[in-house]
Structure 1
């Protein structure tokens, strides 16, 4: 009979691409991990990995069996959650990754309130605009804008109707005027965001069924979205940001909207994890908690 710990080791090795990394994750020695993998291959009468001194990759048989092994572990975890039901304790450590601007200026006070409701829960917050590798990094869940590129990831909606908006400080509009159409952006200083060496200088707007994409330019760009927002608040130029990121600044008068008759690019916010087995009660409570607060912000969005 196949052992559950052997299946867990196999799945973790496939996810991490490393037997030693899987051993560390499961807190076993490399020798124990190697023996478990050999035992599983012997029971299945199939080779699951092709090993070399520098790499480890699944064989075709390994790829085929991985689906069944993962489903078996997920099914057992789901059964355990159902048995626990309401008795599941909201405690332990939850490691969360979030974008720099949304995480620092919007999410932080929400997490404070969430922990006040669940004082036995510890949070480890990682703020970065780079997409966290949920298989290799010490992160349980991630909050990210846009749909995940990897279709195997699990995405739960937080703000599916969120969009980008064009805005600037009142001082900037007083000095440079307010654009009336997307074409007018050619005469404005646009504050640009860059990620992975790519500058996001193509901004899209729609009016009815007509969509316009304009290429913009400016004298500042940053790979930190929070920096771009701070430049805008300081009156340095126009920014094209997620409504969730700037709703507080607009409400306080630090930023004002422009081109409000146009709809900005859709920018849904999701909670992402690697496997459904990670959708524990704390994760689902956090999703509902953040989703409710995002909905309140979206209720005041210019397109609502």
Structure 2
């Protein structure tokens, strides 16, 4: 019979590339992790890893099985969260970091409502478009755009379907016209912001990457969205950041036939031991609310 912990150790060993690292994360001995993998291989009747004294890599069978194992773990984790997401008393302090735009316009009211349901819990909410450093910043969890690039962190999905869209205000389009192709963007005022301390001026649309430019740049993505609302130019933003403005007719989607870059939203924490009841309940709370914003068809 397959064991939940064996699947977890298989997925984490694959992500970390080491039984020793997976053992350290799970507070186990390396031999215990190796035994769990052997047990899983025996149950499946396949070899999942090709092991040498210096390297650990997935076999072809392991590569094939990994997505299934991840889906199973996600399903079990969601079931566990739903089972335990009661209104039991949550206490202590939860420190949350988030990007500026989604933080102010979506997460702020949601976190306020969550706090009202759990009045014994204290929340500290930090907004920045710079990625939180768990080793330096006073943060327990971070809401992030994009795929988790650090295998040492635990990433729980919130809005895996989210994408960027190209939008502009009707007033700007009335004055400057509507771009018909991605290349047309190079003739327009594009509103830019910093991403990882660099100007994000290469916009991916379908299989095309377009270099754009514009007179306005900010290190705050919410400022750039506000410029777009004022008719200052065209912006390439997460659907979640602009969906309310689109619904209100304040912004219009451009080039919908050219799909924007995937920008999944995740809840990240540095260690599985930090998946406290407050974190697991907040994850479930936020995931349900993000789901209400998923369009039937994302451009």
Q: Which residue of 1 aligns with 2:3?
A: none
Task: Assess, with a 3 A threshold, how the Cα gap between structure 1 residues 68 and 266 changes in structure 2: closer, same or farther.
Answer: closer
8 A Cα contact 2:167 2:251, kept in partner: yes
8 A Cα contact 2:168 2:233, kept in partner: yes
8 A Cα contact 2:134 2:140, kept in partner: yes
Report deviation, 1:175: 0.6
Report deviation, 1:193: 1.2
Q: Which residue of 1 aligns with 2:26?
A: 71
Q: Which residue of 2 aligns with 1:232?
A: 228
Q: Which residue of 2 aligns with 1:166?
A: 166
- Aligned mates of 2:181, 2:197 — CA distance in 1: 29
Task: Assess, with a 3 A threshold, how the Cα gap between structure 1 residues 90 and 183 changes in structure 2: closer, same or farther.
Answer: same
Structure 1, unpaired ranges of 5+: 1-62, 74-80
Q: TM-score, normalised by structure 2?
A: 0.71
Q: Which residue of 2 aligns with 1:269?
A: 265
Alignment of 1:87-102 (within 5 A): 89-102=89-102
SS at structure 2 position matched to 1:157: strand
SS at structure 2 position matched to 1:94: strand
Deviations 1:207-260 (A, max 9, x none): xxxx11111111111111111111101110000000001111111121111111
SS at structure 2 position matched to 1:297: coil
Aligned: 1:221 with 2:221 = no
SS at structure 1 position matched to 2:172: helix
- Aligned mates of 1:264, 1:71 — CA distance in 2: 37
Alignment of 1:23-62 (within 5 A): none
Greater gyration radius: 1
8 A Cα contact 1:166 1:241, kept in partner: yes
Report deviation, 1:197: 3.8
- Aligned mates of 2:164, 2:178 — CA distance in 1: 18
- Aligned mates of 2:173, 2:224 — CA distance in 1: 17
Report deviation, 1:299: 2.5
8 A Cα contact 2:130 2:197, kept in partner: no
- Aligned mates of 2:160, 2:191 — CA distance in 1: 25
Report deviation, 1:67: 6.1
RMSD value, Cα: 2.3
- Aligned mates of 1:70, 1:204 — CA distance in 2: 36
Q: How many residue pairs get matched? A: 228
Task: Assess, with a 3 A threshold, how the Cα gap between structure 1 residues 64 and 222 changes in structure 2: closer, same or farther.
Answer: same
- Aligned mates of 2:101, 2:217 — CA distance in 1: 15
Report deviation, 1:135: 2.2
8 A Cα contact 2:89 2:118, kept in partner: no
Report deviation, 1:301: 5.4
- Aligned mates of 1:268, 1:128 — CA distance in 2: 18
Q: TM-score, normalised by structure 1?
A: 0.70
8 A Cα contact 1:88 1:281, kept in partner: no
Structure 2, unpaired ranges of 5+: 1-17, 29-79
Q: Which residue of 2 aligns with 1:130?
A: 130
8 A Cα contact 1:94 1:121, kept in partner: yes
Report deviation, 1:176: 0.7
Report deviation, 1:88: 6.3
Q: Which residue of 1 aligns with 2:143?
A: 143
